[in-house]
Structure 1
């Protein structure tokens, strides 16, 4: 479930609960319902996040980053050396 959809559901639940609060009734019930909605939304978000983190694509991406981190560091060092060489002052003739 996308985070924006989850946020929309939580906001809708809070708005519905707020609309019911305008009607005479028990405020404790309203607070309890909002807490239940929030707990359910949190649980759904945690489940969705863990599913994404455990997916094959995420594992492959982490492996690719781990494999290529050294290469990226080497290239950054090389680039830094080239820039330092470029900015060295020229000796006077």
Structure 2
């Protein structure tokens, strides 16, 4: 929520300053500053995401998902076999 609010505020500020820019040089300077800010924000977000991905909790979650996915696949295969057997029994005269 805060990130989206910050983004909206930056966009509004850019529009206000752009509307008040008297010369093309001021507008170019503003565009350059916005690009720099966006690059810094992107770098910070990438750092945060990589820290989350490398965290112990994320690694444990990935292991848990992998283990439980295998168990779910095994149970699904067992259910398919049981349903196939029931189907054969129901069709048998």
Same fold flag (TM > 0.5): yes
Cα RMSD after superposing both structures? 2.0
Higher relative contact order (CA 8 A, sep 6+): 1
Alignment map for 1:26-65 (pairs within 5 Å): 26-65=26-65
Alignment map for 1:1-93 (pairs within 5 Å): 4-25=1-22, 26-88=26-88, 90-92=91-93
Structure 1 moving runs of 4+ over 4 Å: 86-89
Structure 1 length as normaliser, TM-score?
0.76
The structure carrying a bigger helix percent of its residues is 2
Q: Provide the rounded CA distance (Å) in 1 between the counterparts of 2:36 and 2:57.
A: 33
Structure 2, unaligned stretches of length 5 or more? none
The aligned length equals 89
Structure 1, unaligned stretches of length 5 or more? none
Structure 2 length as normaliser, TM-score?
0.76
Q: Provide the rounded CA distance (Å) in 1 between the counterparts of 2:33 and 2:87.
A: 65
